[in-house]
Structure 1
Amino acid sequence: MGKAERKKAVAEHKKAKEELEQVSKRDRTETDAYLAANHRVIETEKNVAWWRR
């Protein structure tokens, strides 16, 4: 994985975490939107080093 790909992966993961935070603030229960946002975080973190999460 090249430097540009790593930067893109980190940016996607950050965006997914921000989306999850927004959904978490809005919904106090596990709605479909929450589960989808959480799944996106899980999928994007696979491409990010553990120490960058």
Structure 2
Amino acid sequence: MTPQPKRKHSTQRKGKRLATRIANNMPKLVKCKQCGNQKLPHRLCRNCNK
């Protein structure tokens, strides 16, 4: 039998834990050197294809 939690974790505590997980998985955007638009790193820019 596995141990059970003694107290309920609050929704705020759960939200904090999930927020860091979501923030770390969001794609990091960089500026395109040609046009200055936001793009994913190591990908072609949608605006100028450079």
Q: TM tier, shorter chain?
A: 0.3 to 0.5
TM-score, normalised to structure 1's length? 0.32
Q: Which has the higher contact order (CA 8 A, sep 6+)?
A: 1
The structure with more radius of gyration: 2
Structure number with higher helix proportion: 1
